[in-house]
Chains A and B, each alone.
Chain A
Amino acid sequence: MKRGMLLMILLLMAIHGLYAAVGCDLNDPDRDVKRLFPASTGYKTHYVSIQQKGGKALLAKVEQRLGDKFTGLYETMDVPYTVYEIYKGKEVIGYIHGVNQKGQYGGIQVFLALNKQGVIQAFYYQKMTNQAAKSFRSSEFARQFVGLSGQDFASYDPKAGKLEGSLIKIKNPSVKAEADFKATLRGVKKNLILMQEFGYIK
């Protein structure tokens, strides 16, 4: 008993400094994968980071494609991204990938379910803090993203936030929450770029 207690203390004291940046995982992968890909029979989880896949050069490329810099304490090169590779039998039928995005009142977790070509099949806010969060999390809002891909977001400028081309159809559900609407679009664009740069979609 004493030895166990001692080991526990040593372990607790030794775990300082063992942490790294935290990524964005599904809260309940088994349930969420089935919900986002009803035809799926299984999935594999991959952890990738910009640091691991190309370092500073890749970061610069992602920032250039995004049209914005990675900023703040938490949007860093070492953030591990979780990619769920979805299977139907032995065949890969798509991917689920989420990113953390800074919102006006809290973190926004933007998840996309993509087919193998990188076309959005489903959009899901795992987390959002805003007075208008209910409208943002509505199925009407999520449906607006279905069918879009990286190409549709290629010319979108997250700083200006002006919607053009096929993005015009995406309507902000709350005028008061303009900042979170723009943050969401930035998150979606970042999500799609990372999936391309990590090599999961063309």
Chain B
Amino acid sequence: MPSLFGIAWKNLRRKRLRSLLTIVGIALSTWVLVSLLGFNQGYENSLNKDIDNLGFQVLLTAKGCPYEAATLMLKGGTGLKYMSESIIDSVIANPQVEKVTPMLMHAVFDPNKGESGGITAFLGIDPTTYPAMKSYLVFQQGQWFDQPEALEAVFGYEAAELEQREVGDLYLLPEAEVEIKVVGVLKRSGTQDDGTIFLPIKTLQKVYDVEGKITSVGIKVQKETDLTAYEDELYKMQDVQVVSMAQVKQTISNLVATARVMVMSIALIAILIAMVGVMNTVLMSVLERWQEIGIMKSMGAMTSHIFKLIWFETILLTFVGGVIGSIMSWILASVTDTLIRSVLPYSPTSSLVQIDILLALKAIGIIMGIGIISGIYPAFKAAKIRPIEAIRSTDGEI
């Protein structure tokens, strides 16, 4: 005696083309669903990664100190205010802080720039903490200096282009006239780092006689930290100003939330289309087999048998379609990624569509859930068929 599943499978095979087209429809809906869920997951992860790559979320500087090279240049290299290096100990003591990096901005008048001289700014950094914080900085040539007092420099791309410096070249520090060696040239980053000349902080302090002084501290807080509350704490410190990335992070978070709503709306539409499609196909199949179901009932098939048979057919269709669609979305993830990138105004650097086994199982579950729900009505309709009436008529009607 064949099982109900066996009969359901056999029934589906009897109308191969229709079953195939239904499976293709379900597979396409699953592909859309998995890709959208994968995008939802991937986009958020990628954006978070990009935000992390921005480096520190908070910049602490002395009150009134210009903290950007551009501002410094506009002010003619004046107005730098220093903080004692000891401030780092009080910042790092806070358990909400993950990492800190001290920086020293130093502007020097170079009489050999332009018609009447110009300003050259240097950024002294700690080679043990800064590179990890600015992991998005990629080298065109060479690498970071590793000695805290090395007479070495790393050039941002535009600074290197202006100075025509490559790894191994020498550079003369203005005023001090100290020779330093170029050990790295960065690729363009689209940030102010492109125009920066980086030196080990100890070297810069020593050469320009500002030992023990810094101009800013970059702070990266723990992920779960409430940035606004933490900034309020920092404001309690005397004579410091806080430059925050909180607003940028908040805006990006809003962007993610908006994208999520849009994605889930499209996913819901895909689910509804799949549901109506499945219900329509199975209902058509029931109507075509009206007489056959009547005969089955007259031969002793119970109402519950017919209900289960039709239901199983629906579940089988959605299961096979779901599995094929999930495999399709996994194989075509990079194509989907490229397609989405071509229409998004800004795409994060890492993968936009992240599909894993859990996501695929979740999507198959959702699609089978759709099958279970959308199969109820056709199954119920089939189960209610009266044998005598069904045998008399050729086609069923809804």
Contacts from A to B (Cβ < 8 Å): 2, 5-6, 9-10, 12-19, 21-22, 27-28, 31-32, 35, 72-74, 100-108, 125-131, 133-134, 137
Interface residue from B111, B114, B254 paired with A2 (Cβ < 8 Å): B254
Closest 8 CB pairs of A and B: A105-B172, A107-B164, A102-B164, A133-B112, A106-B163, A13-B346, A16-B190, A27-B114
Residue B170 is within 8 A (CB to CB) of chain A in the complex: yes
Complex Cα–Cα for A137 and B114 (A): 10
**B162 (CB) vs chain A CBs: closest residue:** A107
B161 & A74 in contact (Cβ 8 Å cutoff): yes
Instruction: Determine the distance from Cα of A102 to Cα of B190 in the docked complex, in whole angstroms.
Output: 24
Q: How far is the CA of A9 from the CA of B245 in the complex (A)?
A: 12
- Residues A106 and B190 in contact, CB atoms below 8 Å apart: no
Q: How far does the Cβ of A82 sit from chain B's closest Cβ, in whole Å?
A: 14
Asked whether, in the complex, the Cβ of B166 is within 8 Å of the Cβ of A105, the reply is no
| Given A6-B255, A130-B172: A73 in contact with B112 (beta carbons within 8 A) | no
A21-B157 Cα distance, complex, nearest whole Å: 10
Q: Which residue of B lies closest to A100 (CB)?
A: B164
Flag whether B113 is at the interface (Cβ < 8 A). Answer: yes
Which of B174, B188, B190, B255 is in CB contact (< 8 Å) with A129? B174
B345 at the interface (CB under 8 A from A): yes
Judge whether B137 is part of the interface by a CB distance below 8 angstroms: no
- Can you name the residue of chain A whose Cβ is closest to the Cβ of B179? A105
Would B115 and A106 count as touching, CB distance under 8 A? no
Pick the contact of A28: B115, B170, B185 (CB < 8 A).
Answer: B115
Q: Does B252 contact A (CB under 8 A)?
A: yes
Do residues B114 and A107 form an inter-chain contact, with CB atoms below 8 A? no
Closest beta carbon of chain B to A64's beta carbon, Å? 23
Please give, as numbers and ranges, the residues of chain B lying within 8 Å of A102 by CB-CB distance. Answer: 164, 169
Residues from chain A with Cβ under 8 Å of B345 in the complex:
10, 14
Contacts of A14 in B (CB 8 A): 345-346
Given A6-B251, A16-B190, A22-B161, decide whether A72 and B115 contact each other with a Cβ distance below 8 A. no
B170 touches A105 (CB 8 A): yes
Asked whether any CB of chain A lies closer than 8 Å to the CB of B228, the reply is: no
Residues of B within 8 A of A21 (CB): 161
CB<8 Å pairs between A and B, sample of 26: A2-B251, A2-B254, A9-B346, A12-B190, A16-B189, A17-B188, A18-B190, A22-B161, A22-B162, A28-B115, A72-B164, A72-B166, A73-B140, A73-B160, A102-B164, A104-B170, A107-B163, A126-B115, A127-B162, A129-B174, A130-B112, A131-B172, A133-B112, A134-B111, A134-B112, A137-B112
A2 shortest CB reach to chain B, Å: 7
Given contacts A31-B115, A133-B112, contact A106 B171 (CB under 8 A): yes
Max chain B CB contacts within 10 Å: which of A12, A127, A129? A129
Q: How far is the CA of A101 from the CA of B165 in the complex (A)?
A: 11
**Is A127 within 8 A of B113, CB to CB?**
yes
A9–B251 Cα distance when bound, in Å, is 9
**Alpha-carbon distance between A22 and B247 when the two chains are bound, in angstroms:** 33
Interface string of B358-373 (1 = CB under 8 A from A): 0000000000000000
CA distance A79 to B248 in the complex (A): 35
Give the Cβ gap from A177 to chain B, nearest Cβ, in Å. Answer: 11
Chain B residues in 8 Å Cβ range of A16: 188-190
Quick one: closest A residue to B191, CB to CB? A12
Cβ–Cβ < 8 Å partners of A27 in chain B? 114-115, 118
CA–CA, A6 to B250, complex, Å? 10
A108 CB contacts on chain B under 8 angstroms? 164
**Residue of B118, B251, B252 ringed by the most chain A CB atoms within 10 A:** B251
Query: For B179, what are the chain A residues with a Cβ–Cβ distance below 8 Å?
Result: 105
Contact B112 A129 (CB under 8 A): yes
Assess whether B140 is in contact with A32, with CB atoms less than 8 Å apart. no
B84 within 8 A of A: no
A100 — which chain B residues lie within 8 A by C-beta? 161-162, 164
Q: Which single residue of chain A is at the shortest CB-CB distance from B248? A: A9
CB-based contact A73/B166 at 8 Å:
yes
Contact assessment for A10 and B247 in the assembled complex, using a CB-CB cutoff below 8 Å: no
Complex interface: chain B residues within 8 A of A18 (CB): 190
